[in-house]
């Protein structure tokens, strides 16, 4: 089916696990996954997966297992800083009617666990605690020896070793200007009526940034909240890392009090919900949002970058996981033609994926602008703008014609090769 018989995949996150599953089952390619960590990661909060990604997870055979763990509410309700509802809409309603798939918010650890179990059921080898020290042609060197492959996939995220060592050494991530804080809170710590009010994804606009709330388990027994805002890039340390550590410490120690001040104007039922969430938070994770600039190389020799290793973007379009899945399925399709040299596979991959990635990347940048700090008048304009958008869309029937959702029905398996 393909001249590629063996692939070494660097990175055991969602992109790497999905790539191994698809290439093993569909292309009959022997896959070996190298993961730097000693065991599956428990890092990360909860990710949102849109219809275009859920459809591909179904084709991988893991959709039902994921739905049993994640929360599927697709209603977006936006609240003002005072807690009032500015507007609400089913942000995947039209896409759901077109594809049969909606929206899923799931803890990253659960996503990885389901994919990992599927990989193990297929007998795919995954080696934890492996540090790659070099790549030459198709030979991957580690501290324990060398392994040769027809294809090397860099699925190792924004700080990709494969990109730095082989594909595009000078291409590095840049800070987006937005940083986020998040936590996952057990619903048992909250008043019973609080989770009843959580009908999907909730947002609250404030002068400082955006506060978001979303259940992340099927029975809503855990709720993720996040707050994203403008934060200046620290000056100390290489790449600002030392400065970020200082900022992170300050965030953990004083963030609860700061956030309660930001939410002080929130009243009514929803005001009580967000304050209860913050007050019952025992730990807070702080992360600066980095992204790769547009452009850059995605392949060289036998190496190809997938997912964040190639095109890490801000999370504000909810498409990070789905973009990686689309990468995987396109590569799988291109490898079906055994007469196509690997160099042509990579060239065609780049030609097809680049416009789609650029489109979603810019959508994420646009959405991220809503997180920037503003004054009272700026906040009022944002609230007014969202309310008008929802009302006009409903009045003109735009929501029923796919306005703002066309990118969610995109099917990589239908793209002409």
Closest residue by Cα to residue 59 from 68, 47, 48, 51: 51
Task: Indicate the pLDDT class of residue 227, thresholds 50, 70 and 90.
Answer: very high
Task: Please report, for residues 71, 177, 178, 401, the alpha-carbon distance to residue 232 in angstroms, rounded to integers and kept in the order given.
Answer: 33, 7, 8, 40
For 19, the token pair is 């790539």
* Cα four-point dihedral sign 158, 161, 163, 169: positive
Distance CA 172, CA 175 (A): 10
Mean pLDDT of 276-296: 89
Of 73-87, 88-102, 344-358, 393-407, the one with minimum mean pLDDT is 393-407
Distance CA 301, CA 166 (A): 9
Q: What is the pLDDT of residue 243?
A: 45
Q: What is the pLDDT of residue 380?
A: 87
Of 112-126, 127-141, 392-406, the one with minimum mean pLDDT is 392-406
User: Which residue is listed with tokens 């599956």?
Assistant: 40
Burial of 42 per CB tally in 10 Å (0-12, 13-18, 19+): exposed
Of 133-137, 199-203, 250-254, 382-386, the one with minimum mean pLDDT is 250-254
In sequence order, the β-bridge partners of residue 105 are: 48, 71
Percent of the chain, pLDDT > 70? Answer: 94
Report yes or no: 46 and 138 within 8 Å, Cβ to Cβ: no
Per-residue pLDDT at 42 exceeds 70: no
| Cα Rg, the chain, nearest whole Å | 22
Mean pLDDT of 143-151: 93
The predicted model scores a pTM of 0.93
Mean pLDDT of 398-402: 77
Distance CA 245, CA 229 (A): 17
At residue 16, φ and ψ (nearest 5 deg) are -65, -40
Give the 3-state secondary structure of the chain.
CCCCCEEEEECCCHHHHHHHHHHHHHHCCEEEEEECCCCCCCCCCEEEECHHHHHHHHHHCCHHHHHCCCECCCEEEEECCCCCEEEEEECCHHHHHHHCCCCEEEEHHHHHHHHHHHHHHCCCEEEECCCEEEEECCEEEECCEEEECCEEEECCCCCCHHHHHHHCCCCCCEEEEEEEEEEEEEHHHCCHHHHHCCCEEEEEECCCEEEEEEECCCCCCEEEEEEEEECCCCCCCHHHHHHHHHHHHHHHHHHHHHHHHHCCCCCHHHHHHHHHHHHCCCCCEEEEEEECCCCCCCEECCEEECCHHHHCCCHHHCCHHHHHHHHHHHHHHHCCCCCCCHHHHHHHHHHHHHHHHHHHHHHHHHHHHHHCCCCHHHHHHHHHHHHHHHHHHHHCCCHHHCCCCHHHCCCHHHCCC
């Amino acid at each position: 089916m393909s001249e590629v018989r063996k692939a070494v995949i660097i990175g055991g996150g969602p992109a790497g696990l999905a790539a191994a599953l698809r290439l093993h089952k569909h292309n009959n390619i022997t896959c070996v996954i190298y993961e730097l960590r000693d065991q599956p990661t428990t890092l990360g909060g909860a990710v949102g997966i849109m219809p275009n990604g859920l459809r591909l997870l179904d084709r991988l055979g893991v959709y039902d297992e994921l739905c049993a763990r994640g929360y599927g509410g697709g209603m977006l309700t936006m609240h003002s800083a005072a807690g009032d509802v500015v507007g609400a809409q089913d942000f995947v309603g039209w896409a759901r009617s077109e594809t049969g798939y909606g929206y899923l918010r799931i803890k990253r650890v659960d996503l990885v666990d389901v994919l990992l179990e599927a990989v193990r059921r297929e007998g795919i080898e995954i080696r934890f605690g492996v540090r790659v020290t070099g790549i030459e042609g198709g030979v991957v060197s580690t501290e324990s020896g060398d392994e040769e492959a027809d294809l090397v996939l860099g699925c190792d995220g924004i700080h990709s070793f494969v990109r730095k060592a082989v594909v595009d050494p000078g291409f590095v991530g840049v800070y987006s200007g937005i940083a986020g804080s998040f936590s996952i809170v057990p619903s048992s710590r909250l008043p019973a009526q609080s989770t009843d009010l959580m009908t999907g994804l909730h947002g609250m606009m404030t002068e400082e940034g955006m506060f978001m709330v979303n259940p992340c388990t099927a029975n809503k027994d855990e709720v993720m909240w996040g707050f994203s805002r403008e934060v200046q890039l620290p000056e100390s340390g290489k790449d600002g890392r030392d400065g970020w550590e200082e900022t992170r410490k300050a965030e953990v120690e004083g963030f609860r009090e700061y956030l309660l001040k930001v939410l002080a104007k929130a009243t009514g039922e929803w005001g009580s919900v967000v304050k209860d969430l913050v007050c019952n938070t025992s730990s807070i994770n702080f992360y600066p949002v980095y992204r790769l600039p547009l452009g850059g190389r995605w392949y060289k020799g036998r190496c190809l970058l997938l997912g964040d290793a190639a095109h890490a973007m801000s999370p504000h379009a909810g498409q990070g996981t789905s973009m990686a899945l689309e990468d995987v399925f396109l590569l799988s399709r291109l490898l079906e033609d055994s007469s196509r040299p690997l160099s042509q596979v990579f060239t065609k991959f780049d030609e097809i994926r680049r416009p789609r990635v650029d489109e979603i990347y810019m959508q994420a940048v646009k959405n991220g602008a809503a997180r920037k700090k503003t004054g009272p008048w700026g906040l009022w304009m944002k609230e007014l703008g969202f309310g008008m958008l929802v009302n006009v869309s409903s009045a003109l029937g735009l929501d029923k014609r796919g306005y703002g959702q066309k990118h969610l029905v995109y099917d990589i398996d239908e793209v002409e090769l």
